[in-house]
Amino acid sequence: MNSAIALGHSDPTDLRRFRLEHALKAIEDALILLDTKPAEAIEVSALQRVRDDLSILLRAAVTA
């Protein structure tokens, strides 16, 4: 079963917003985990850029 339908989302925009919110949360969680440990072979600034880009997309999806 589609998780967006199970949550009552039927609009494709809602589905994209739902996915963006979860992607942003996953990256924020990863950054929090990396903050407590030295980063090994992981480019933290790349994750930060992705987080920032997702934030912009999420704001655009919310206003649309």
- Compute the half-sphere exposure of residue 50: CA atoms within 13 Å on the CB side of its CA: 16
Q: How many CB atoms within 10 Å of residue 54?
A: 20
Could you tell me which of 25, 21, 9, 6 has the C-alpha nearest to residue 60? 21
For 7-42, write each residue's pLDDT tens digit. Answer: 555 677 787 788 888 888 888 888 888 777 776 666
Put simply, whether the predicted model's pTM sits higher than 0.95 gets the answer no
- Say what the pLDDT of residue 1 is: 41
- Give residue limits of the domains in the chain: 12-63
